[in-house]
């Protein structure tokens, strides 16, 4: 194995899935995406919108985010909340 092939803590990313409520349109998706994208280590944010229902949020980051970090970002974006599936 070449040194460049070594897996290090720096190049391991994690993808987490969260259920969120309160999203009704693409504007909501944009607001949530913007708030989460500025968190340290976040590389990608994907949202499967279910208008008025439970939407699925996937966050890829350098390290796992805790529910509180995500909840604060959702609150900053608008009236969006984490929920159980």
Q: How many domains does the chain have?
A: 1
- Using alpha carbons only, how large is the chain's radius of gyration in Å? 14
CATH of residue 30: 3.30.70.100
Residue 4 lies in a domain: no
Structural domain containing residue 75: 12-83
- With a CB cutoff of 8 Å and minimum separation 6, the contacts of 73 are 32, 35, 36, 39
Residue 30 lies in a domain: yes
Residue 77 lies in a domain: yes
26's enclosing H/E stretch is: helix 26-37
pTM above 0.75, yes or no: yes
Q: What pLDDT was estimated at residue 12? A: 83
Residue 53 lies in a domain: yes
Query: Where does residue 55 rank: exposed (0-12), middle (13-18), buried (19+ CB within 10 A)?
Result: buried
pLDDT per residue over 44-83, tens digit each? Answer: 999 999 999 999 999 999 999 999 999 999 999 999 999 9
């Amino acid at each position: 194995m070449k040194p460049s092939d070594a897996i290090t803590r720096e190049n391991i990313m994690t993808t987490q899935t969260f259920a969120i409520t309160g999203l009704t349109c693409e504007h909501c998706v944009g607001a949530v995406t913007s708030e989460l994208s500025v968190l340290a280590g976040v590389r990608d944010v994907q949202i499967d919108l279910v208008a008025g229902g439970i939407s699925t949020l996937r966050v890829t980051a350098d390290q796992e985010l805790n529910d509180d970090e995500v909840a604060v970002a959702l609150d900053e974006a608008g009236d969006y909340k984490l929920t159980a599936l």
